A and B are shown apart, each in its own frame.
With several copies, the nearest count.
Chain A
Amino acid sequence: MDHKINIVYFGQIAEGTGKQSEMIEAKELHNKSVREFLNQQYPGIDQYAFTIAVDNKISEICDPENTREIAVLPPFAGG
């Protein structure tokens, strides 16, 4: 099983990571929250406000093997 998850970054967060998206192995999220994973990958990212959406639903937790996409969303600015 080599399930992959697409992580997508937006706005200020994409600016910080230097990328709009990346594919990761589902197993990288075993025994680890999405936030922990992001902090390891991008030290200092936790200084920015962001919310996480798992397959288009705001959520801090995901079931890695059944997740298609994780979105890292900075504060909303619509309107």
Chain B
Amino acid sequence: MKKSLKEGQILPEFIADSIAKHQHKTNIGAHQIFLGQVRADLIDEKEVVAIEYTAHEEMAEQIIHEIREETFEKFDLTCMHIYHSLGRVEKGQICLFVFVSSGHRRAANEAIVHLVEAIKERVPIFGKEILEDGSHVWKQNTSLS
């Protein structure tokens, strides 16, 4: 089973490599990419400088696998890639990379929305927001609806 959790930030070069690998698949007409970036939010007037991610790794990989399978069934996609950081990711760095490819744009767009929501809601990943004074708060996802 392909692993989705990876240590540290996701680099722009990694994303470029992933895009380049799809150029021989000439049935693809549309790619859609979602990137989550660590925001320097202010919490009680203190800036978030990084997020430390942990996960129930075995369960997280298993649920991401389920989300992949159900998304392939639901939408007409050629490819799908999901990567999420573990460990410390600094503000401004990328912690989530979701990449879908399809013949046509509608499937790619609908799939990416589905994937990002499902990942945020269902995957046991935990985020410790490290503040500038060394204290921390625990991040909690909110639903879109």
Contact = CB atoms under 8 A, between A and B. Distances in A.
B3 interface: no
A58 to B, nearest CB: 9
Contacts of A56: 56, 58-59, 62
B124 A71 contact: yes
A28 to B, nearest CB: 22
A79 B141 contact: yes
Interface residues on A, range: 10 to 19
Given A10-B54, A78-B119, A53 B124 contact: yes
Given A10-B56, A12-B138, A77 B116 contact: no
Interface residues of B: mostly helix, strand, loop or mixed?
Answer: mixed
A7 interface: no
A17 to B, nearest CB: 14
A77 B58 contact: no
A65 B119 CA distance: 32
Interface stretch (B12-20, B42-50, B69-77, B125-133): B125-133
Contacts of A10: 54-56, 124, 126
Interface string A19-34: 0000000000000000
Given A10-B56, A71-B56, A76 B62 contact: no
Contacts of A76: 120-126, 140-141
A78 B56 contact: no
Interface in A39-73: 53, 56, 71, 73
A78 B58 contact: no
Closest 3 CB pairs of A and B: A78-B125, A11-B126, A77-B127
Interface of A: 8, 10-12, 53, 56, 71, 73-79
11 contacts: A56-B58, A56-B62, A71-B56, A73-B56, A76-B140, A76-B141, A77-B138, A78-B123, A79-B36, A79-B105, A79-B125
